Structure 1
Amino acid sequence: MTDFKTGSVQANGINFHYLEMGEGPLALCLHGFPDHAYSFRHLLPDLAEAGFRAVAPFMRGYAPTEAPQDGNYRAVMLARDTVALVDALGDGQAYLIGNDWGAGAVIGASVLAPEKVRKLVIIASGRVDEELAMDYWYLRGTWHFYFFQMPFAERAVAHNDYAYVEQWWRDASPEWDIPDYALESIRETFRKPGVVEAALGYYRARFGPAPQDTEALRDEERINAGPVTVPTLALHGTRDRPKRLESFESEHMDAYFTGGLDKVLIPGTGHFMHQERPEEINPRIVEFLTG
């Protein structure tokens, strides 16, 4: 695995650790579940070569990044983390790239602080309207959202040295021949104290009570309503099992991204397309960011 420069920075009250390559305008890459900063091990070198300072933080609660003392993993906090990281790491503006929960974070940041976002790339993300949210096949694909509410979910995920995480990767990207080093690397992250609890905390916050803080509630409503007014590249795989294709193709998504939306469907790829086919995905991202 490539040797990356590592660092840490204080942002939104949390000490974030990150991987870094290159010099130039900040390109901030945020991972999802069940994943970590090394998700972007192929993309960071290509971004650096293209003239960017490419930075991939470990998201809140994913060691070595700290877990929030108040246990708050609501989506609005992920968006605020992103805005704070842009300020702490760069000159107040950045190119944002996110996968899964990371995509949600960069979308939220683009709504809350569009003046800080040069361009936006989202991988394996869509918008869900009320009709799709009630669809049987959509609910079946998002069953883990509900399973993770169960009190025994931590033990199930950790069982047999995190076999759940490996199988989740295989189900999410069924055509990916996952290298052993990638599986061992993600296991190492999840073995660290508190990571499983934090990772499931993202899902539990999804169904938790609304923020009591008026400003946080207002920001959450802004993110839900949109729109995103910055140029956006959305990448989605035809074999992405957790994310229904309908959420990517929906008119609801087209209406949410008003700053220019380039939607690209990649045949045969799954949820982790940037790891599956970096030779195909990375040039698309670099071309969009530099165009």
Structure 2
Amino acid sequence: MTKSKRITLAHGNLRFSAIEQGSGPLVLLLHGFPDTLDTWGEQMAVLADAGYRVVAPATRGYEPQSQPEDGDYSSEALAGDVLAWIEELGGAPAHLVGHDWGASIAYTTAMAAPEQLLSLTTMAVPHGGRFLAEIDKHPKQLRMSWYILFFQVPGIAEHVIKRKDFAFLRWLWQTWSPGWDFDEEEFQEVGAAFSAPGVVESALGYYRAAVGMDSIRGRKSYDGSKPWPIDVPTLGITGKNEGCIAAEVFSAMMREMDFPRGLSVVQVPDAGHFLHRERPERVNALLLDWLAKHDAA
């Protein structure tokens, strides 16, 4: 088994901690909310032993040194970080894997620079454009996504997240993955990360950038009939017991017309939102099979 090491990545004057393991084609693993770069512990060694160079960074704002002075957490800025990392790590096309917000970042990266990617794997969150444009058609999902609107309330959202040792984030874990009996140590890693200066505000910045006035205007002008093309072979994975974005909504918003290079959608039984942690053997098998099919550009 190859050993992992801590490295630092850069984009402009921002610095990002990352874990690296193995050698071979590059696989970038992007974590979600509320989570950290350590979310990928069950995947890194398996992928490294299979012949990949695996890198799991902390995304923008999840550390003080990666918090931009202008507070830019737009999808374009987040994708720009990923493209800078790929260049820094050698410039060859990479496999991109994202969970939750990491999936959202991955979609934007794939739309912006498909030539930089060998494959795309997204977990728990469907095509970002479809989700924002069509969530109104899914009343159940509107109810499930109440927290997105709550996160728009400055000051109050920050206070609720921070109180009682991040009890709200613990509740989200339990609600989004109702069958996951996670270890307390796993959650403490999240609490430690969110305790650092500015991290809670940065994490909320993702949501506030995503549902601002520009995105609202875009949803009102879009009728859903045109594709949002992602020209990268894509594997979308959801948990059957998903408590954040319902599995049926995920499947409905992953459409072949949006993925001209191919799309495969898989539902993992007995798993919720954090499916890669809950059912690592199943997710790892899916990943290894998908990556092997797309190692050649």
Secondary structure of 2:255's aligned partner = helix
Following TM superposition, by how much is the alpha carbon of 1:252 offset from its aligned partner in structure 2, in angstroms? Answer: 5.8
Cα gap change, 1:130/1:96 in structure 2, threshold over 3 Å: closer, same or farther? Answer: closer
Whether 2:30 is the aligned partner of 1:48: answer no
In structure 2, the residue matched to 1:226 is: 228
In structure 2, the residue matched to 1:219 is: none
Q: 2:142 pairs with 139, 142, 150, which one? A: 139
Question: Which ranges of structure 2 fall in alignment gaps of 5 or more residues?
Answer: 216-225
In structure 1, the residue matched to 2:92 is: 92
In structure 1, the residue matched to 2:261 is: 259
* Distance in 1, Cα, partners of 2:53 & 2:123: 20
Percent of matched pairs sharing the same residue: 37
Secondary structure of 2:97's aligned partner = strand
What are the within-5 Å matches in structure 2 for residues 103-122 of structure 1?
103-122=103-122
Following TM superposition, by how much is the alpha carbon of 1:33 offset from its aligned partner in structure 2, in angstroms? Answer: 0.6
TM-score (norm 2): 0.88
Following TM superposition, by how much is the alpha carbon of 1:16 offset from its aligned partner in structure 2, in angstroms? Answer: 1.5
* Distance in 2, Cα, partners of 1:251 & 1:56: 27
Q: How many residues align?
A: 278
What are the within-5 Å matches in structure 2 for residues 68-217 of structure 1?
68-126=68-126, 127-128=130-131, 130-151=133-154, 152-210=156-214
Q: Which amino acid aligns with 2:203?
A: A
In structure 1, the residue matched to 2:289 is: 287
Secondary structure of 1:10's aligned partner = strand
What are the within-5 Å matches in structure 2 for residues 19-58 of structure 1?
19-58=19-58
Q: Which amino acid aligns with 1:260?
A: G
Following TM superposition, by how much is the alpha carbon of 1:264 offset from its aligned partner in structure 2, in angstroms? Answer: 0.5
State the Cα RMSD in Å. Answer: 2.0
Render the CA deviation track for 1:199-230: whole Å, top value 9, x for unaligned: 1111111233549xxxxxxxxxxxx9631111
Render the CA deviation track for 1:223-281: whole Å, top value 9, x for unaligned: x9631111111101111111122332226633212211011111121111001111111
Question: Which ranges of structure 1 fall in alignment gaps of 5 or more residues?
Answer: 212-223
Secondary structure of 2:8's aligned partner = strand
Cα gap change, 1:225/1:201 in structure 2, threshold over 3 Å: closer, same or farther? Answer: farther
Secondary structure of 2:66's aligned partner = coil
What are the within-5 Å matches in structure 2 for residues 270-281 of structure 1?
270-281=272-283
Q: Which amino acid aligns with 2:246?
A: R
Secondary structure of 1:9's aligned partner = strand
Q: Which amino acid aligns with 1:91?
A: G
TM-score (norm 1): 0.90
Q: Which amino acid aligns with 2:144?
A: G
Report if aligned partners of 1:98, 1:123 keep a CA contact under 8 Å in 2: yes
Report if aligned partners of 2:138, 2:249 keep a CA contact under 8 Å in 1: no
* Distance in 1, Cα, partners of 2:247 & 2:12: 34
